[in-house]
């Protein structure tokens, strides 16, 4: 198990119930809310979002491995992606 927190969340533009949230807005939510809150809680954790480190060809396997080996996992289920 690694000393990391894996963040699962939408990474592209999302439309839900007639409201569209851009990829850029989701990135800001991650960078300035989620990631900062995690690091404030435990500055020793490596915070990783799926699109930051994973290989395009093996994304499903990489996500599964991160889910299995991260100390913590946070899932933003705000949008049905």
The reported pTM is 0.85
Q: What is the mean pLDDT of the chain?
A: 89
pLDDT of residue 48: 94
Please tell me the distance from the alpha carbon of residue 36 to that of residue 9, in angstroms, as a whole number. Answer: 15
| Mean pLDDT of the region 10-38 | 93
Residue 80 has a pLDDT of 75
Query: In the chain, where are the structural domains located?
Result: 2-75
Instruction: Give the closest residue to 7 by CA, choosing from 37, 42, 48.
Output: 48
Between 65 and 38, the higher pLDDT residue: 38
Query: End-to-end CA distance of the chain, in Å?
Result: 27
Q: What is the pLDDT of residues 30-58, one digit of tens each?
A: 999 999 999 999 999 999 998 886 666 66
- The pLDDT score that the predictor gives to residue 55 is 66
DSSP-derived letter for residue 56 is G
């Amino acid at each position: 198990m690694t000393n990391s927190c894996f963040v699962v969340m939408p990474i592209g533009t999302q439309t839900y119930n007639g409201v569209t949230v851009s990829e850029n807005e989701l990135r800001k939510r991650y960078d300035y809310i989620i990631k900062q809150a995690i690091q404030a809680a435990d500055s020793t954790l490596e915070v990783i979002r799926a699109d930051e480190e994973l290989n395009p060809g093996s994304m499903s396997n990489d996500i599964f491995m991160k889910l299995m080996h991260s100390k913590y996992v946070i899932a933003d289920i705000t949008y049905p992606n």
